[in-house]
Amino acid sequence: MQSLLLVCTANICRSPMAESVFKAQATLLGLGRVASAGVRASSRAQGMDARAITALGRRKYPVDKKWRSRRVEAEDYLRFDHILAMDQDNLDALRRQCPTEQQHKLRLLLDLVPGRQGQEVPDPYFGSPVGFENVLDLIELAARSWSAARAGAR
C-alpha cells in the first residue's frame, strides 16, 4: 500500500478536501495512508473551511469533525511515498524544503491527469462557494486518474 500527502497553502481548503476524497477511495486506490498539510499552515491548528465541508457534504464525503490543519514537517518527506501539491507555489516551497534524495516524490496533483500536467488546482478561499465545487471536480478527476494509472500498472 502506498502513502499520499496532499499539500496546499494553509491546509484548510484544497488539501483537506483532497484528503477526504482520497481517503474515501483509499482501498480502491491502493492507499494505506492519506494525509494533508500546508506549506504555510498556521502554527495554531484550525478546522477545515466551512465552505469546503459543505461542498464535501453535498457529495457525501465523510469529514472528520476532529480534523485539524498542520504544517508540512521534515519527516513527511520520508513518511510518504507521494507528495502532491495543489499549485506551483506550493510545489516550489516543497522543493526548497525537501531533501534531494526525496525530490522524486513531489508533483502537482493534476500531473496525475492526462492532458492536465502542469496545471494547478486554484485556491477557492477568497472566492464564492462555486469555487469549492470546481476544486472538488478537479480533485475527483485526479482521484479517478490515480485509479486508472494504478489499474494500468497491474
Per DSSP, 71 falls in state B
Per DSSP, 49 falls in state P
Active-site positions read 8, 14, 123
Please report, as a single letter, which amino acid is at residue 127.
Answer: G
Please report, as a single letter, which amino acid is at residue 5.
Answer: L
Strand pairing category for 31-38 and 82-85:
unpaired
Please report, as a single letter, which amino acid is at residue 9.
Answer: T
Q: DSSP 3-state assignment of 17? A: helix
Q: What are 41's three cell numbers?
A: 499552515
Pair 35, 7: CB distance under 8 Å: no
